[in-house]
Structure 1
């Protein structure tokens, strides 16, 4: 339905306008000319009908103008899922996301909708975003309006965090802030911190974050240089590396050194199990085979064997033996299953054929290869056995080192208590002797004694906190080691952006950008078959900087993009489908074009799963 523009904010009527209609004589003349009351005239009934029609149109248009949610996933079933964590409301605590981010809540952080303190377990739902495709599927807007100028965000990391108890939302208590160390793959200092304001439908500037670079080894939580005097350690305390002068647990025999050595051995075991020798396969003389020179750098698992040939697999229904007589210009080999199955491709000009092949051995070559395999397999088993024995030794040594560390901590605590008792006795005796002479001096010595006691207590708490932190770090490292091969959660290029939040919601480390430059054209959109698409908005993504630019129909005639980078367009249609314009299609747009019809590829979400959908949308 066409929307009518109804002016409901008309300026107040001026005094001049009112005076211009104060012609009472004219009103009396008109009254004298009336033959029938107004409500009895035919025109009165028709006027009532017109007015009623206008009111109905206004009401329908108001229903149409109801705004959609500010966070609006294009396809609800493919929205990005949350991870679940739990925090004790009274004690506070923190959790570590599998991507490396850490969120820490102080004690008594939460209240309910009526402002009452929350007691018991609080369920935390958390997700974070580093790729534009995830932001697009979550329906999170990336446009930012500042002083009437619209910018578009380039993200260095975004998080969405919610709190619930018994299914009802909880809120931050006044004056309480959670500390965040958000994993980020962009170390640039140009990014600011923003909070998504869903009421005012805009991003709110919240200042800058602190950039904290991680250690060279992925997944290794740094030591602590200073302990905050509060009972809970801050995130910065957990993450800042410890100096050698202050470390009480340094040395090759410390639990820390044992943990590092154990982790390295575990990694070596993972690598050894991954490069396990593969048994050679004997050739089937009834099948076709071919000789291909293999570069040891590219395919070490088969290049170690001599006289290997490649057998044409039975699944190659299109195999043509006559292709062997063609002089091909190029041949390439690609892994399908390392050491077991490969794909060979022959090409000549625009003609190419591909076959699935298997490395095999003929005659005596198979016997030689089998002997080599048996020797290598035995050597591999020997090396793996030695590493596992070393792992067991380090585990035992680590347990012993931790036990000694705990005993030392207990011993130190006893010494501290004995020292405090002696100080109290000495102070009391000294005060008694001095009481008659100088009460002022007695007060000074009491203050000194109290200060010493506080310092000893601080040292004891510091020592206990370090022990607790080491246990937390070991638990985190074991968890990351379990997921390291599957997720690749934390690369050596990862940093953390540290900041505080005082609300649940979406928080974003972003750099506002203007629209890209390089090419400007009038854009229209269609799907195959020259069927025009009416898109309410489209998202242009610049892969070189992970920036998202949102275009609305009123600016399609001034569509800008940078042809020197890889671009992609995403959008959703009214019938619940996704459309995409890929980087290779952008490359076909003629230089200097002033208009272009973007023929979008249509993706039906009902015919793909989440993984397939993301794979097709990725640049």
Structure 2
């Protein structure tokens, strides 16, 4: 088991003179030999005994030297504490899967043609590639199929397996990201990296499920060099579906539905009453005679009367066609020419689009329907009609613009009031749902979300937002029959059941530090422990006497595949 401790001491090392004083074996030998020749009646030590004394002295001197040199080592191993939580994770890889053998089957691969613009289907979304989006180093043409490798993660179990950290450092302030979805994507060709071309970008579209209104989400990119998430800016777009299956008997839901219907009726009424609906008809430009179409002359003031059902008056006809010459258009179809020899009592004239008219000749025995258009044969009359038309058209367009602006402003005001009121009512619905059991809350607040953004380089991206009101770290005790030693380096992973995030902790002295409050509803929280041996430790959170404890059970090997581990974590 490898430990990486960063422990420093300021203790002074012994000098060479101090070490030599303990290693001067010749001086010790001379002292012993001088004692052998003394004549003061002292007992002479036999050579055999003297040899044994020399061996003891040599051993003592060696022991002293060993202690001098080994003291710093013994001090480190015997007295230095294990690294704390912050120190431990600082020495670990930033992306730190609890079991690397389980990670590969999270990665998918799609083969694309780099010379073709195409949409690349992801697990639940797509990449949009232009024909010039990809290139090799130094701008070389690829000339072979490209493998796009990706992981799309949007479940807590996937975040756990991948080892992605979701802590966020903002100017030294520790935050936590609520990640709706994460995309890890890169490309290769024949084993060589393929980059996104300079000045190009790849459009990304990801779908997932969230349990909030979808506001405040931004794009974050993981920088593995500086070991932190970088705020990459706002998303280019998003679509958040309305939460489904709101309880119909909930008073807040009933108020929401009623307000929504009332506002929609107001909008429909405003659009129906827009002044442009009451404007006069767009003026018709004068026409000259065209080709070989037959013409007829009708003087509505002297020859025939306008029948009921006409949408123009005799006075209008003076402006429309003072000459009374009408061109018969091909839309009329086959016409019995004998009709022009019949005496007609009246005509019905109905204006149609594009300056055309429906002309119906009427007498008691029969009716003949024609499609005609007024024409002007005299150049002077045509020029005068053209000037009159241009003045009438300018006045008409001004009136339409004013009416449209007035109606648009009114409708926009209604829509703005509607959105504001519905937002308040939706907050009341969410407050009512939050009073329900946590499992029911999650079911009712889930909604599908579509997020869109663009990237100019491959990497790991998260659609996420910072968690507001993040609880401060709380000491959580471990309660178990078997002590979890500090040397086990047991990592703790917590999901609070309310956000798509994962908190990391470390077991030290049978406790850990986690952002969790004893007074909150933690019934949906899940805690997992993994030790250095890659074993998953059964864990159950309990709240007793305003304190949170983790009751740990037996340990077991992590499942051999990501799919099995996902199932195991969900059941935990």
TM-score by length of structure 2 reads: 0.46
Q: Which is higher, the Rg of structure 1 or of structure 2?
A: 2
